[in-house]
Amino acid sequence: MIERLNPFSFGSFGYYSQGMKIDLGTKTMILTAGQIALDDEGKPVAPGDYTKQTKFLFERIKQVLDAAGATIDDVVKAQFFIKDVSKYSEVSAVRNEYFVNARPATTMVEISDTVAEGCDVEIEVMAIIDNE
């Protein structure tokens, strides 16, 4: 079974889900869409501030995971896309705050842009939880 997760809303970029919950039998996999720093009205949050944007994204990710019955500690894979690799240490510091227990496999790459002006960081994660 596949469940689409959409715990929050803002100006749409098209037809997509903020997350997917996929029953694999004894486990469930949760995938989040790439999260960017747009508030509920679709306005950028803290343009140019990689620390604030990353914290905002983790809070959005936590909302998607919560909608699936998972937590940040269930994350096994994380992908970070940042517009300026010189900001790696800022993004990494926030990552380390949230992933104290999870310690997921992580990828961080520099990109030329995101789909929204003023959004400098994009994060997507995969989590795995046990089925009861």
- Identify residue 68 by its one-letter amino acid code: A
The per-residue pLDDT for 11 is: 54
Q: What is the pLDDT of residue 10?
A: 60
User: What is the chain's length?
Assistant: 132
DSSP label at residue 38: B
pLDDT, one tens digit per residue, over 26-82 is 999 999 999 999 998 889 999 999 999 999 999 999 999 999 999 999 999 999 999
pLDDT at 16: 81
Is 80:110 a contact under the CB 8 Å cutoff? no
Which CATH number is 2-130 given? 3.30.1330.40
pTM: 0.94
Half-sphere exposure of 88 (CA within 13 A, CB side): 8
Structural tokens at position 66: 């919560």
Asked if residue 14 has pLDDT above 70, the reply is no
